[in-house]
């Protein structure tokens, strides 16, 4: 079965599709509890997280378990990203060079979790066509970073379903065009009135048997959060 077609004049623009998909997962603000499972050929490790986000400018991610990592937090305030490590009582401002590093030993990068870059404003978007993915008709879009954007990838290919604007698959390439990782959106269900993938799985391209699974246990959209919530002081005391 031929499951691929070129874009037509009736399709929305690539940027409109990306914007809708991004807004759907983000809302004006969101508060989430998340279970993260790091999967390796011989072991698995689980963590639980709580996260708060407001627009694209502010986010706070707190590790709530296991006990040895509890209280570790990551804060994004506009262009700055901070990490609080309670075990050593230290706050570290994270430079852009750390964005590609592993987040807490997982397959997610710091950039994936705190999103220094914005998929709407930091990239040029090109609609390549439509393709069927897991029985859903999807837009296939190529995203190329704008010249001065704070972007760590050379290119991203993303599949977004036509029916619900679901981000079902994203391939991340480095500046030399090599595939680094793929993120899959799975287990589509309704959360706080929105139909979204409730599980994200990141699979590194060159490490057999490695993946990290991120499952939303709860997700509440458009709860009022003040920008003042996203402070270095609050990062140290939030529960």
Let me know: does 201 contact 184? Beta carbons within 8 Å.
Answer: yes
Please check the confidence at residue 2 and state whether its pLDDT lies above 60. Answer: no
Please check the confidence at residue 23 and state whether its pLDDT lies above 60. Answer: yes
Listed residue (157, 176, 75, 76) closest to 117, CA to CA: 76
Listed residue (48, 66, 65, 103) closest to 81, CA to CA: 103
Give pLDDT tens digits for 144-174.
999 888 788 899 999 999 999 999 999 999 9
Question: Which has more confidence, 101 or 182?
Answer: 182
Let me know: does 130 contact 163? Beta carbons within 8 Å.
Answer: no
Task: Tell me: cis bond preceding 66? Omega within 30 of 0 counts.
Answer: yes
Let me know: does 47 contact 214? Beta carbons within 8 Å.
Answer: no
Domains of the chain: 4-237 (2.50.20.10)
Evaluate if pTM is beyond 0.85.
yes
b/e for 3-16, b at 16 or more Cβ within 10 A?
A: eeeebeeebeebbe
Query: What band does 64 get if pLDDT is binned at 50, 70 and 90?
Result: very high
71 Cβ partners below 8 Å, 6+ apart?
62, 63, 84, 86
pLDDT of 187 reads: 97
Query: What band does 1 get if pLDDT is binned at 50, 70 and 90?
Result: very low
pLDDT of 14 reads: 93
> Which of 3-12, 49-58, 126-135 is predicted least confidently?
3-12
Give pLDDT tens digits for 86-134.
999 999 999 888 888 899 999 998 888 777 678 888 899 999 999 999 8
What mean pLDDT, rounded, does the chain reach? 92
Helix (H, G, I), strand (E, B) or coil at 7: coil
CA 48 to chain centre: 16
């Amino acid at each position: 079965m031929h499951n691929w077609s070129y874009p037509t004049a009736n399709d929305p623009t690539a940027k409109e599709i990306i914007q809708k998909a991004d807004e759907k997962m983000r809302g004006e603000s969101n508060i989430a509890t998340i279970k993260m499972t790091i999967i390796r050929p011989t072991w698995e490790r689980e963590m639980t997280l709580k996260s708060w986000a407001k627009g694209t400018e502010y986010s706070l991610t707190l590790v709530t378990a296991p006990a040895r990592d509890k209280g570790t937090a990551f804060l994004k305030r506009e262009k700055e990203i901070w990490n609080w490590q309670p075990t050593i009582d230290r706050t570290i401002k994270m430079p852009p060079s750390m964005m590609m590093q592993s987040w807490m030993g997982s397959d997610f990068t710091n950039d994936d979790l705190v999103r220094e870059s914005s998929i709407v404003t930091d990239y040029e978007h090109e609609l390549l066509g439509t393709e069927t993915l897991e029985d859903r008709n999807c837009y296939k879009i190529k995203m190329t970073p704008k010249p001065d954007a704070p972007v760590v990838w050379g290119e991203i290919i993303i599949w977004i379903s036509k029916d619900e604007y679901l981000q079902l698959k994203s391939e991340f390439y480095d500046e030399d065009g090599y595939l680094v990782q793929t993120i899959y959106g799975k287990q589509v269900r309704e959360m706080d009135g929105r139909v979204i993938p409730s599980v994200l799985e990141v699979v590194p391209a060159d490490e057999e048997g490695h993946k990290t699974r991120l499952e939303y246990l709860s997700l509440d959209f458009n709860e009022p959060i003040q920008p003042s919530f996203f402070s270095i002081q609050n990062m140290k005391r939030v529960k």
